């Protein structure tokens, strides 16, 4: 070998050892011939153990058994670049990688085998997860500005120990929010108990919350501690507080002010240090004005008020929520559904969700029941979505961004029609500024009739 060739060979070896991409070569029998330092690090297998072994025993990719890129390269004599896949390393971790393969030839052009280079994407995945963490608290995820405002103060709210009032339509995640507050608070090791106040009559609700003594009423044969006792130093969520009677509200107010309660049939008061979170799907302030909710209790629980927006006001969260439900259901049901298909997502983005996030979750669960593939498709969605949305369904949109735009355009048109093409009223209904509406009208080339809704002028 000439001196210059020796130098070139040594240089190649140094380069191979110093790069961060894994590289290995195989012969015609799929036996590994060389294995660089990065390949050792990514797979967790030392070079001495790897060399001479079959590549699938060392590389352990989900492509090995079926669509092996290296096999294609060697068969077709072509290079393939950046196929995404994953491997399982020696610590039983799934590592996302991208793979490029080429046939390996000598100076005379004779085939020697193949070469595979692979790049570890774990760090990218980790950063992506971290970034996503900014949009997630507990089991709640959101990109929406309204939710971000809540997320930003939630740690302080949780640590404050004050009573919290959570308002929001049914299915907006009031209980999840309460759980998140509890788990971020200093009481996180103590119990979290949720009770739906609207579902129980007064006496039963009181006995559930405060407990009773033996003989307090017929069939009360022995003492029964209530939820305040069970919660100890933890948190109680009083859900549907707006549906409770005035008499119960008085009793609750006393407990909150005196920090003690009296079990039914008892003459003794018991001290309590439970944190109260109240939730409702009513507008309590309006109920107070109408005399339907006690003003004193309202001011007692309204120390920190959080309003959860309905899903139709945070449509940008749908892809993120869908992803989160898929992950959760994969975990619970032992499945490996990867995503929702493009057409199905377009339908999801066009629906207005009267049942809010709970409805979306149920739709995804429905998809899981019918879907036996990796992707939830249009045919896996509940029939009512397909039946009611066909006119809204765009023909074909190649990206998520396009689907969101189509939905936005439809919402604007609907709001304009409802408000007789009054731009100010439509902008108000859409929750955007009039100038934003004008910008969007221009963007979507929406032409308006001469009638402008402010007058009867035509």
171, 355 Cβ separation under 8 angstroms: yes
DSSP-derived 3-state class of residue 373: coil
**Which residues of the chain form contacts with other proteins (CB under 8 A)?**
43-46, 49-50, 53-54, 56-58, 60-66, 87-88, 90, 92-94, 331, 333-336, 372, 374
Closest CB to other proteins among residues 64, 166:
64
For 192, the enclosing helix (H) or strand (E) is strand 192-196
- For residue 47, give the nearest of 62, 60, 61, 33 by alpha carbon: 33
Closest CB to other proteins among residues 331, 445:
331
Closest CB to other proteins among residues 59, 192:
59
Report the nearest approach of other proteins to the CB of residue 330 (Å): 9
Report the nearest approach of other proteins to the CB of residue 120 (Å): 15
Closest CB to other proteins among residues 63, 426:
63
Report the nearest approach of other proteins to the CB of residue 87 (Å): 8
Closest CB to other proteins among residues 54, 217:
54
Angle 136-141-147 (CA atoms, 0-180°, nearest 5)? 95
Q: What span, in angstroms and rounded, lies between the C-alpha atoms of 274 and 256?
A: 9
Report the nearest approach of other proteins to the CB of residue 331 (Å): 8
- For residue 323, give the nearest of 132, 120, 144 by alpha carbon: 132
Residue 119's DSSP bridge partners are 98
Q: What span, in angstroms and rounded, lies between the C-alpha atoms of 195 and 206?
A: 11
Report the nearest approach of other proteins to the CB of residue 60 (Å): 4
Report the nearest approach of other proteins to the CB of residue 294 (Å): 49
For 83, the enclosing helix (H) or strand (E) is strand 80-88
Closest CB to other proteins among residues 75, 295:
75
Q: What span, in angstroms and rounded, lies between the C-alpha atoms of 326 and 322?
A: 6
Q: What span, in angstroms and rounded, lies between the C-alpha atoms of 81 and 43?
A: 20
Closest CB to other proteins among residues 87, 344:
87
Report the nearest approach of other proteins to the CB of residue 27 (Å): 17
Sheet of 304-308: strand order equals 192-196, 235-239, 275-280, 164-168, 304-308
Query: Cα dist. 448→98, 205, 379, 412, 422 in Å?
Result: 50, 56, 37, 12, 10
For 360, the enclosing helix (H) or strand (E) is helix 356-370
Closest CB to other proteins among residues 88, 432:
88
- Residues in contact with 432: Cβ distance below 8 Å, sequence separation at least 6, in sequence order: 440
Report the nearest approach of other proteins to the CB of residue 357 (Å): 25
Closest CB to other proteins among residues 94, 129:
94
DSSP-derived 3-state class of residue 34: strand
Radius of gyration of the chain (CA): 31
Report the nearest approach of other proteins to the CB of residue 341 (Å): 17
- Residue 454: phi and psi, rounded to 5, are -85, -25
């Amino acid at each position: 070998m000439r001196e210059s060739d020796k130098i070139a060979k040594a240089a190649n070896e140094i380069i191979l050892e110093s790069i961060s991409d894994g590289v290995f070569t195989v012969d015609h029998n799929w036996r590994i011939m060389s294995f660089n330092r990065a390949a050792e690090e990514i797979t967790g297998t030392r070079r001495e153990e790897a060399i001479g072994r079959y590549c699938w025993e060392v590389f352990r990719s989900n492509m090995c058994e079926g669509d092996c890129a290296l096999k294609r390269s060697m068969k077709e004599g072509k290079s393939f670049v950046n196929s995404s896949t994953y491997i399982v390393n020696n610590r039983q971790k799934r590592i996302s990688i991208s793979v490029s393969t080429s046939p390996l030839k000598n100076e005379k052009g004779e085939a020697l085998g193949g070469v595979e280079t692979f790049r570890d994407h774990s760090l990218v995945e980790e950063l992506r997860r971290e970034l996503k963490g900014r949009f997630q608290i507990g089991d709640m995820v959101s990109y929406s500005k309204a939710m971000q405002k809540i997320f930003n103060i939630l740690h302080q709210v949780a640590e404050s120990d004050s009573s919290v009032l959570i308002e929001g339509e049914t299915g907006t995640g009031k209980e999840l929010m309460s759980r998140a507050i509890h788990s971020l608070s200093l009481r996180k090791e103590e119990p979290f108990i949720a009770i739906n106040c609207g579902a129980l009559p007064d006496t039963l609700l009181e006995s559930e919350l405060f407990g009773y003594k033996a003989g307090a009423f017929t069939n009360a044969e022995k003492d029964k501690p209530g939820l305040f006792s069970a919660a100890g130093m933890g948190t109680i969520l009083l859900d549907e507080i707006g549906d409770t009677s005035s008499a119960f509200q008085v009793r609750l107010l006393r407990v909150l002010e005196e920090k003690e309660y009296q079990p039914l049939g008892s003459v003794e008061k018991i001290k309590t240090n439970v944190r109260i979170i109240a939730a409702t799907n009513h507008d309590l302030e309006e109920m107070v004005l109408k005399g339907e909710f006690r003003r004193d209790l309202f001011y007692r629980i309204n120390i920190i008020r959080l309003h959860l927006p309905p899903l139709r006001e945070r449509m940008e969260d749908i892809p993120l929520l869908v992803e989160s439900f898929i992950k959760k259901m994969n975990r619970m049901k032992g499945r490996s559904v990867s995503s929702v298909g493009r057409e199905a997502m377009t339908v999801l983005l066009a629906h207005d969700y009267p049942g809010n996030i709970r409805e979306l979750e149920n739709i995804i669960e429905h998809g899981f029941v019918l879907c036996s593939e990796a992707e939830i498709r249009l045919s896996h969605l509940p029939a009512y979505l397909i039946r009611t949305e066909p006119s809204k369904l765009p023909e074909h949109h190649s990206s998520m961004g396009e689907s969101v735009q189509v939905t936005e355009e439809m919402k604007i048109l609907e709001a304009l029609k409802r408000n007789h093409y009054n731009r100010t009223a439509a902008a108000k209904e859409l929750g955007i500024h009039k100038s934003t509406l004008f910008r969007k009208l221009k963007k979507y080339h929406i032409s308006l009739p001469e009638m402008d809704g402010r007058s009867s002028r035509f």
